Amino acid sequence: MRRTARGIVVLACTTLALTLAACGGEDDPSGESGQKTDPAALKAELTWWDTSDPKNEGPAFQELVAKFNQTYPNVTINYQSVPFGEAQNKFKTAAQAKTGAPDILRAEVAWVPEFASLGYLYALDGSELTSDESDFLATPLSADKYDGKTYGVPQVTDSLALLYNKELLTKAGIATAPATWADLKAAALAVKQKTGVDGVYVNPAGYFMLPFMYGEGGDLVDAQAKKIVVNSAQNVAGLNVAKDLIASGAAPKPAANDAYGTMMTLFKEKKVAMIVNGPWEVNNIKNAPTFGGLENLGIAPVPAGSARAGAPVGGHNYVVWSGMPQEKVEAAIAFVKFMSSAESQGFLADRLGLLPTRKSAYELDTVKNNPVISAFRPVVESAVPRPWIPEGGQFFGPLDQLATQVLVQNKDPKAALDEVAGKYKSEVVPSYGM
């Protein structure tokens, strides 16, 4: 049976005067009329799996943990950095075995409905974590809903944008960021001709193929109609746009191994003028010794295809493992509440350029005056929503293979997409039609 934070809180209220969770009756779900516990008296040990980049983002999150401990000195946070690419399966394996899973996880948005459907997460309804949902942006919050209940708290939201080196584009005589993929191809070829460096790098990964597919009006599945549409003519056209950037010389052939790392190294070293990436890399670019700082970083919406400009919605949420002992509930709620507060989100926005999920965080001076946040906010607001279904997190394994096949191995896009559709049907959403 799936457990809820509300149910645990009710049980715990017989022995604990809870600080942040609801201890009142059904008419007082916020618990604001209940007695508050001295934060210094709260004692617990929590394990948190942080799936952010350990070098670029991890130190800032550890600073927030230290700030949390200034108020809650006796709540020990066992901070563990877990590689993002391993965390999804690692958490599922531990949760299924009912041992070794973290009390709190930084989960990618698509993981939440999947984990909730498996019974691996606490529903947070009735706790103080859901008492101010109106302060969260609608799209990030929607990723935490499953079967009518709330299973996570939005941490950051993001999308993909066109990041470009202002100096290189200026040298190539390009005054404005490319607005279409055709514009980008022309700009990239001009950069290569006039500066000698590559114009754009295309990362061969599934998530990074979505702007090309969305740009032609494509999608992966039609969740409402329960139909697989990944091998549509629109998606074939989108992949051909990406493939043509390489064939034309506008982009170099991507690396077969660690293409993402190669892309970031080349961009930071000013050996490629344009990339498509998200706000999580801003701090990394800012600290690159030869790039030229944020003053040299341009940020624009991803270029449009024939149908639209479309970037995917991304982000991460805080979730709580359903196997966490009841005696840790109060501390877990206090920790997630602190980490997801407007002040904490403002800190991360200022330090890392990460986009807040709270409306009130955008009213903070450090956020309002941040040029990176200002540039990315319209990108996120116009991003294409992903289907928040339990299988959503499983779409990208086959897409990653497709991206490598098409962009590195030169496979026909239609054949590759047909293989993905077959895998979706046999392994991911077998109840969907084709």
Q: What is the DSSP string of 51-109?
A: -S-TTTTHHHHHHHHHHHHHH-TTEEEEEEE--HHHHHHHHHHHHHHTSS--SEEEEET
Other CB atoms within a 10 A radius of the CB of residue 74 amount to 13
pLDDT of residue 36: 61
Residue 144's nearest CA partner among 127, 161, 167, 160 is: 127
DSSP state of 228: E
**Residues whose CB falls within 8 Å of the CB of residue 93, separated by 6 or more in sequence, listed in order:** none
Residue 430 vs residues 207, 227, 391, 434: alpha-carbon distances, Å:
22, 10, 10, 10
- In terms of phi and psi (left: phi > 0; alpha: psi -120 to 50; beta: otherwise), the region of 139 is alpha
Q: Using an 8 Å Cβ cutoff, are 419 and 402 in contact?
A: yes
The strand pairing partners of 145, in sequence order, are 150
Q: How far apart are CA 26 and CA 103, in angstroms?
A: 26
pLDDT of residue 280: 93
Q: How far apart are CA 427 and CA 286, in angstroms?
A: 41
Q: How far apart are CA 255 and CA 408, in angstroms?
A: 7
Q: How far apart are CA 265 and CA 147, in angstroms?
A: 42
Cα angle, residue 363 at apex, residues 351 and 366 outer, rounded to 5°: 25
Residue 311 vs residues 53, 302, 336: alpha-carbon distances, Å:
22, 7, 28
pLDDT of residue 199: 98
| Burial of 171 (C-beta count, 10 Å sphere; 0-12/13-18/19+) | middle
Other CB atoms within a 10 A radius of the CB of residue 150 amount to 23
DSSP state of 428: I
Query: Tens-of-pLDDT digits for all 434 residues of the chain?
Result: 334 444 443 333 322 223 333 333 333 323 333 446 689 889 999 999 999 999 989 999 999 999 999 999 999 999 999 999 999 999 999 999 999 999 999 999 999 999 999 999 999 999 999 999 999 999 899 999 999 999 999 999 999 999 999 999 999 999 999 999 999 999 999 999 999 999 999 999 999 999 999 999 999 999 999 999 999 999 999 999 999 999 999 999 999 999 999 999 999 999 999 999 999 999 999 999 999 999 999 999 999 999 999 999 999 999 999 999 999 999 999 999 999 999 999 999 999 999 999 999 999 999 999 999 999 988 888 888 888 999 999 999 999 999 999 999 999 999 999 999 999 999 999 999 99
Residue 429 vs residues 87, 268, 418: alpha-carbon distances, Å:
22, 40, 15
Q: How far apart are CA 146 and CA 44, in angstroms?
A: 29
DSSP state of 129: G
Q: How far apart are CA 76 and CA 296, in angstroms?
A: 41
pLDDT of residue 158: 92
Q: How far apart are CA 424 and CA 398, in angstroms?
A: 8
pLDDT of residue 37: 66
Q: Using an 8 Å Cβ cutoff, are 123 and 149 in contact?
A: yes
DSSP state of 297: E
pTM of the model: 0.85
Residue 216, token pair as written in the block:
């032609």
Q: How far apart are CA 406 and CA 417, in angstroms?
A: 10
Q: How many whole angstroms from its chain centre is CA 315?
A: 2
pLDDT of residue 7: 41
pLDDT of residue 358: 95
Question: Directed axis angle between helix 206-215 and helix 396-407, to 10°?
Answer: 80
Q: Using an 8 Å Cβ cutoff, are 305 and 179 in contact?
A: no
Other CB atoms within a 10 A radius of the CB of residue 261 amount to 11
